[in-house]
Structures are given as structure tokens and as C-alpha cells.
Amino acid sequence: MANLKMMGVINITPNSFSGDSASLTPDILASKLLTFKEVPILDFGAESTAPMNAPISYDEELSRFAPYLDQILSWDKGVVSIDTYHPETISFFQKEWMKRSKRNPLVWNDVSGKWDDEVERFLSISGPYSYVFSHNLAPTRSESGTHMKFTADQLTKEEFFQGLVEYFRPYARPRVILDPCFGFSKTYEQNWEAIERFGELQKTLNHDRWLFGISRKSFLRQKYGLTNSMEDRDLLDQHHMAEVQRLSPHWMGEVWIRTHRPLL
């Protein structure tokens, strides 16, 4: 039986597809953090990697974080995850962790799928640091948000699944959380193939730390015939948790459920 942990999403970006960040202020974030005080993992992101959005620089990303840094850096009730593909951004947070001698875990949630020298450097530093390695077929970090240009849509279901296994196999290591990164570099059918076989993927790789993120994804809306309107959002969040409840009895290890409504 899997150990499920809620990972609350906090978007600090004006163009998040989930629609929950446009009115964010430090006061609103303070209220949200108070509401989320029982949530063991918080995932902060300042850039939307939805395909319709242009990439931003590290400087712009950090400027978006700037009004909220004190709140993020002082939060010590659980894991802090920074959702960024910019090595400079996570390096900044890691230095702040060391400067403040913080003991709660810091996670680099990297959607790029690029295991490079920057990842090795991040993990080489002694401390409470873990890394999320994601499935993304975009060729470079800067192209992370253009992932839908890089799908292997010609593959059979079995070829796709075996490719996913081999993609992750070299990185099933301690301090690494594996993330199929649903919605990235996958067709609608491939997303649901990976979702339905998530437990099989876990067992095949015999790795015990995973991230499962389908909250408010377009393929979830498509399955249930919903829009991204405020009226449909409650229904979408309910369907999300129903899918987790349906699938999780077949899972193993520790699974972080990335969700925009962790208290649902």
C-alpha cells in the first residue's frame, strides 16, 4: 500500500493555466500558508510551462519570487519544493537554506528532464536536498515549456511504456523522486496509459519515491468534458481526487500527490 502525501501547489505567476494565481499578494499567501499548515509538502512555482506561455529568464523568475521570499524561506512546517527548470533559481534557494541552517527538506522540482552537471552539483551538497526527475522530451532546459512539440506519438502503447521505463531507469536513485510528468511530451492516450500503469511502472523500477501530478490537467478536463472555468473547477478537483482514490490501491512506496486543493 502506498504512502500518499499531499503536495500543495502555490503558483506565483500571472499566467498559470490553473487560474489560481492572478490575484496573489503576500497577504493572500500568508492566509493560504495558514490554511495549508497541515500539508506536508508545498510546491512553489513562478513560471508557467503550459505550452501557450513564453519562457522567462532566471532574473524574471526570481523577481516574481521576490515579494514572497521571506514567507517561503521562513516556512518550516514541512518540505519546500521549488518548481523551476532554471539551475540559478534553485542554487539561490539552496544557498539561502545553507545560510539559514534550515533543516526542513528543500526539493528541486525540475520539469526539464535534463540530468546534467547542475543536478549533480545540487545533489552533491550535504543537506536535506532532493530532486524531482521528470519525463520531458524537450531537447533543452530553455525549451521545457515547448514539450508538446516533442512527443513520440508514433509509438504503440507497449513501446511508449517501455520507453518510459528505460527513460527513468538510470535515475532511480536515493534522493530522487521520479515524476512521469503527466501532460508533458505525451498524447492524450499516452497520458492515460501512463496513469493506468503507474503502479506497474513503480514495480518495474523498484523505486519508492514518486510524484503523481494530474491536478487540473487538460487531459483530465477532456475526459470529463469540463472547461477551465471557475464553475467547472470544483468538479475537476473532485474528479482528480476520485482518480487518486481509484488508482492508489495499486501503488507502492511514497507518492506525492501534486494538487491545487490539498485539503479537498
Q: What is the CB neighbour count within 10 angstroms for residue 244?
A: 18
Q: What is the CA radius of gyration of the chain?
A: 17
Q: What is the pLDDT of residue 22?
A: 56
Q: Where are the alpha helices (DSSP H) in 58-183?
A: 58-65, 69-74, 87-99, 117-124, 157-168
Q: Are 191 and 223 in contact (CB under 8 A)?
A: no
Per-residue b or e along 85-96, where b marks 16 or more CB atoms closer than 10 Å to that residue's CB: bbbebbbbbbee
The pLDDT of 23-42, averaged and rounded, is 91
The pLDDT > 90 percentage for the chain reads: 86
- Kindly report, residue by residue over 207-255, the tens digit of the pLDDT: 999 999 999 999 999 999 998 888 899 999 999 999 999 999 999 999 9
Mean pLDDT of the chain: 94
Q: Are 51 and 145 in contact (CB under 8 A)?
A: yes
Q: What is the CATH number of domain 3-259?
A: 3.20.20.20
Task: Check pLDDT > 80 for residue 200.
Answer: yes
Q: Are 33 and 71 in contact (CB under 8 A)?
A: yes
- Kindly report, residue by residue over 108-127, the tens digit of the pLDDT: 999 999 999 999 999 999 99
Of residues 37 and 202, more confidently modeled: 202
Of residues 35 and 162, more confidently modeled: 162
Distance CA 127, CA 95 (A): 11
- Quote the pTM value: 0.95
DSSP for 176-213, please give it: EEEE--TTSS--HHHHHHHHHTHHHHHHHHT--EEEE-
Domain ranges of the chain: 3-259
Distance CA 103, CA 78 (A): 10
Q: Are 137 and 167 in contact (CB under 8 A)?
A: no
Residues 6+ apart with CB under 8 A from 24: 11, 12
Distance CA 116, CA 97 (A): 22
